[in-house]
Amino acid sequence: MAGEPEIAQALRQAGLRLTPQRYDVLAFLAARRVHATADEIFLGVNRAHPRLSRATVYNTLRALVRSGLVRELAGDGAAARFDARLQRHHHFVCDACGGIEDVEWFELPPALRQRGRGGGTVREIEVIFRGSCRQCAGRARRGGATGS
């Protein structure tokens, strides 16, 4: 999902009306492959469309998440981040700087995939690794401060 036709087609296939706001938010995420916060998305999209409101960005993100076009990554007390890479993958979160990196998908053992209370089913699995990214680990080894 990178070019104009793919984004418009993805929105239509998800059952969403193609609006300039939805298109711009999804295009922003798809083009940058970042795990941006709603505020970062607002600032990025608002440069091209200064009349776009924060509320519109939040509502658009909610619709994109509900439709399955964007994943929301909860932030342990920090702002949620949004990911338009829909291929199956896991995440690594740096404890020091908060950066998020994609980790290529790997299958979990069947015993972990089939946990559901009382015969329930597992809808989604998300593995999140936490630790120090290369930059923060390097700073710590050199005796520098970590974090941003």
- CA dihedral of 100, 105, 107, 112, whole degrees rounded to 10: 20
Q: How far apart are the first and last CA of the chain?
A: 31
pLDDT at 104: 85
Q: Mean pLDDT over residues 107-130, rounded?
A: 72
Q: What is the pLDDT of residues 122-134, one digit of tens each?
A: 777 778 888 999 9
**CA–CA dist 122, 116 (Å, integer):** 6
Better-predicted residue by pLDDT, 57 or 88: 57
- Residue 16 binned pLDDT confidence (cut-offs 50, 70, 90): very high
Better-predicted residue by pLDDT, 124 or 98: 98
- Identify the structural domains of the chain with CATH numbers, from first to last: 4-83 (1.10.10.10), 89-141 (3.30.1490)
Q: Does the pLDDT value for residue 15 go beyond 90?
A: yes
Kindly report the backbone phi and psi dihedral angles of residue 80, in degrees, each rounded to the nearest multiple of 5, phi listed first: -65, 150
